[in-house]
Amino acid sequence: MDDSKRTVITGPALPVRGHDIDTDRIIPARFLKCVVFEGIGAHVFEDDRAQEKARGRVHPFDDPRHADARILLVNRNFGCGSSREHAPQAIMRWGHGIQAIVGESFAEIFFGNCAANGIPCVTADERGIQTLMDLVDAQPSLPFRLDLPALTVTAGDVTVKVMMPDGARRQLVEGRWDTAAELLEARDAIAATAKRLPYFTHWQ
């Protein structure tokens, strides 16, 4: 499961400013009827993007300068509201794929849904996030580097310390976040254990 390990994530960043951005804004409810997640990335922040366009402005997810972004920068309580998994699914499927999110804080269920999909959500203080967002504004193509083992985000000559609950961080670093893959990898051991359980052998 080496390809499941999340240790160092690099790439340009994309800033979305604002506190308490809920999952209905991230992916509007009308897109929840999808049976599979393919194609959902095109609709991330759909209504916010349309509103900005109507005002003659460009939403960060429509800004061509951020087309190659791999790291999303956000503020406080990102992903609040309903518990829809579609929100992280849409974020990770937009463009070339957002691979990590750096913010001031995250709603608990959103954080858990991201971790279950292999997306690290790390936090920094308000000043640190503002510094990183300002760097993107000044240099949109500037490479960012999230180092999960070291818990740092580096861009240019700036390094910001970040935090993440140790349990979730270790799962991502060790590649144990994909519970379905772990079950499939252990299929032989599971089958052997099942053969020893009386309720699978009709109590014989």
Tokens of 113: 């849904």
Set out the domains of the chain in order of their start, with CATH numbers.
Answer: 2-176 (3.20.19.10)
Torsion, CA 80, CA 83, CA 89, CA 95, rounded to 10: -20
Per residue in 18-60, pLDDT (tens digit) is 999 999 999 999 898 877 898 999 999 999 999 999 999 999 9
Q: Helix, strand or coil for residue 25?
A: helix
Amino acid at site 96: H
| pTM exceeds 0.85, yes or no | yes
Read off the DSSP letter of residue 8.
Answer: E
Per residue in 51-61, pLDDT (tens digit) is 999 999 999 99
Per residue in 128-168, pLDDT (tens digit) is 999 999 999 999 999 999 999 999 999 999 999 999 999 99
- Nearest CA among 94, 143, 92 for reference residue 119: 92
pLDDT of residue 178: 66
Per residue in 167-201, pLDDT (tens digit) is 999 999 998 886 655 555 656 766 677 777 787 77
Q: Alpha helices of 6-157 — where are they, by DSSP H?
A: 23-26, 46-54, 86-93, 108-116, 126-138
